[in-house]
Amino acid sequence: MATEDEATFGLIPIVSRGWARKGCRRVVIINHENKYTNVFAARSKKSFVFMFSTRKRQKNFLAFAKKLLKRWKKVLLFVDGAPCHKGAKIRKFCKEHKKVFKLVRFPAYTPELNPTEQCWKPARKVLSNRLLKNIDVAKYHLRKTFNNKNSMPKMFNYF
């Protein structure tokens, strides 16, 4: 049993609190390129699995679902109402793998029920106030954060 969510991270920085000398003008150097990466992630009680993707489309979600099946063999996945979780390709995949893969939808507009949502906060914090030269640098920092069990929020008994 796991929950799934997706998020977008880009080069345009997340500006958070900082400090400067009193009376000095604060300057934030940013990268104006509108480049980004999407992350599909699933969280179970014991692990966090993620995959970078260029788009949030059905075929990308299916690639992630196949990755989950390889890792866990049997998957009960709770998802939100994102468009990439719906459609003919998804129904076909679920029908073909009905003994080992099942999708359950959260009620509409209830991100507070999804524990995977909490995993984006440390990632955004790591990227905040940072000049990212390219998308590979952003992915490096995201990988480091997602693979560090101490940086991920604790998993509570949601279910």
Give the architecture (CATH level 2) of 2-15+26-147.
2-Layer Sandwich (3.30)
Helix H, strand E, coil C: the string for the chain is CEEEEEEEEECCCCCCCCCCCCCCCCCCCCCCCCCEEEEEEEECCCCEEEEEECCCCHHHHHHHHHHHHHHHCCEEEEECCCHHHCCHHHHHHHHHCCCCEEEEECCCCCHHHCHHHHHHHHHHHHHCCCCCCCHHHHHHHHHHHHHCCCCCCCCCCCC
Q: Where are the domains of the chain?
A: 2-15+26-147
pLDDT value at residue 32: 79
Residue stretches of the chain with pLDDT short of 70? 155-159
pLDDT value at residue 156: 64
pTM of the model: 0.87
pLDDT value at residue 16: 80
Q: Dump pLDDT digits (tens) for 48-65.
A: 999 999 999 999 999 999
